[in-house]
């Protein structure tokens, strides 16, 4: 998602144009190790899982959340570049 360059003029930058990077993809990348609720984690040990009627609703809500984020790119939510003073 990003590339870095050492030395003068170096730094970090996006590997692709912001218009090609979905907000949902960024959230999935940054939150890949964080389950929405305990029972969604690989080692989740919720004692009510066998009779839980909420898990399906939570999963649907999580999918709707990500689907909404998928409708936007980084370009959609980025602030405009600052205008240099005196230009």
Instruction: Say what the pTM is.
Output: 0.70
Domain count, the chain: 1
Q: pLDDT category, 4, cuts 50, 70, 90?
A: low
Q: Which two tokens stand for residue 60?
A: 């649907």
Instruction: Compute the distance between CA of residue 21 and CA of residue 24 in angstroms, rounded to an integer.
Output: 9
Condensed to tens digits (0 to 9), the pLDDT of residues 9-26 reads: 778 888 899 999 999 999
- pLDDT given at position 87: 62
What percent of the chain is modeled with pLDDT above 70?
Answer: 92
Identify the three-state secondary structure at position 70: helix
What's the CA angle centered on 66, arms 60 and 69, to 5 degrees? Answer: 145
Residue 85 lies in a domain: no
Asked if residue 84 is part of any domain, the answer here is no
Range of the domain at 31: 12-74
Q: Is 4 part of a structural domain of the chain?
A: no
């Amino acid at each position: 998602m990003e590339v870095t360059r050492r030395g003068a003029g170096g730094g970090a930058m996006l590997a692709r144009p912001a218009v090609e990077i979905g907000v949902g993809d960024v959230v999935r990348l940054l939150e890949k190790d964080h389950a929405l609720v305990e029972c969604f984690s690989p080692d989740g040990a919720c004692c009510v899982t066998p009779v839980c009627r909420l898990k399906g609703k939570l999963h649907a809500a999580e999918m709707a959340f990500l689907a909404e984020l998928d409708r936007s790119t980084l370009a959609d939510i980025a602030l405009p570049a600052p205008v240099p003073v005196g230009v």
